[in-house]
Chains A and B, each alone.
Chain A
Amino acid sequence: MKDFFRVYLAGIVTSIKTGAAYRANFILMNLFDLLWTVAAPLVTILIYGAGASFPGWTFWEAMLMQAIFGLSSALCAVFTENIVWETMNHVREGTLETVLLKPMPPILYMFSTCFRINSFGGVLGSLVLIAVSSVNCEITYSNLPLCILLFLAGFAVNAASALISAAASFKWVANSRLFEINLSFENFGKYPVKIFPFALRMVVTFLLPFAAMGCFPAEILLGRFDFVNLLAVIPAVLFLLFAVWLYNHMIRLYEGVGG
């Protein structure tokens, strides 16, 4: 594990150097990410501006939920999402050998080199939104550890989703749509689960707990959490373990391209 952190740190430093190689792109990407994240709750603003609302959620509470979701998505964009595109390119171009030559598990090497500093603007934007929303809500700070636990569960689900999409590319070469479908599905996490039909609520809570990306951490911070939903941590961990197993299994199927 110590080795992994050493390599991971070196990977991050290398990614920062790579990002800094094109300064204009680095600044613009982060700026757009920041603006995009800040503008993301526009739908919520429109809903509440039109006099409608998510039942039981004030405007700032809904903003807090979506900002937490935004932070989860942005962190995934920085830390895990790139593994999908990198794996897809390696498989399509037959260059995965360069990864398999490294003396560490390929999945860890991929994570350590897939850090994307150009997406950091989204993290910053989300943190600003969380801070602004928190000031306007009643926060139960004693629940912060549980909020972080659920947030990590949501991050794990998102990472698992990226890993599964990446793993699928070993078989379905260059199939980027699968990850886009996953990204669409995770959007269920940025709305209160109670607005969904029962079956869907069960799916996003206990099967693929995308609700842990935004809704659950916000609910627990606001002190209105149904503690049964803490069970979402278990499927989140299982989902991540399955994704790791699948990725490692699919690597065995790698056949390269003509030499």
Chain B
Amino acid sequence: MTRLAPLAVLAGLGLLPLALGTNPYLLNAMITTGILIIAAMSLNLLLGFTGQLSLGHIAFFGIGAYVSALTSLGFDVDLGFGLRVVHAPWPAAIGFPLAILAAGACGWLVGRLSFRVRGAYFVIVTISFAEVVRLVALNWVELTQGPLALTGIPAFTLGLPGLGTWTLKTKLQNYYLVLSVGTLCYLIVARLVGSRFGRAMRGLKENESLALSVGIDATRTLTIAAVISAGMAGAAGSLYAHYLRIIDPDVFQFSTTVTMVIMVVGGGKGTLLGPIIGGVIFGMLPVALRPVMAPEAQWMVYGLVLIAILFVVPKGIVPGLAGLVRRRAGPAPAPLAAEVHP
């Protein structure tokens, strides 16, 4: 049952556009929600599995978006001292991996800076980092156009040798691109948390001294988690830039990080499906609310829905449902032989 649930979710998401038709407004909401879900999954890797709260996660997302956009647009920047950097436009498909690398490198930097002290310090370092990056994007007009925004970002072009190339201009194409990247990210997170590395993360979260005493290197483990998490957020940012094809420093809005945290906590942090379920609920909520209330009022409903969820299932929707299933199935069985010797 637990093995089939992700496949059912994937099949459902794959068929969704066929069921809903190609209403562009709805498809747009689904694509941006999907991109946010990828970012939420990356946040969940840190918040849910290592217990470290990154409140500047949007920085990695935004860095991914800007790096990918600038790679495909090209730039001409004067660094002073007679140094001038000129970059000719490259295909968007190269921007994508570069976005992952750049965001991952920033994750490494932030992780190194803060994981020696952890906890509240990590929260503060991530918030400050996001703010610094936002100010750079806003004020380095020569590179980023500042508040004028980077416009005309090309769409992704996929090429298969012998089969020709496609430029992903339609919403439907972008929906399936996001779904594919999201599935890949899900598989990566699933592999990680089910492995020796995942056990090291859980050990550190549950009892750090004991984890150290069995030989787990805390700084290394948490830094790797931060790099992977940041890289994944960067991938989401790249998808965002090439889908919207215009980005400005508003991508660094703090409220987007808050939305990601709400998705993770509402769905169930530390679960694989939590960010997806929470993401669908909170990502699609504005669509449901738009006919009845103004965007500002929607935030209040957001809050109320989150409170309602956490009131009924304090650990989030997925752990709550899992508990319900377990109670219906009777007491937990002793370890299955299949689990121990697969």
Query: Bound pair: A and B?
Result: no
Chain A interface (Cβ within 8 Å of chain B)? none
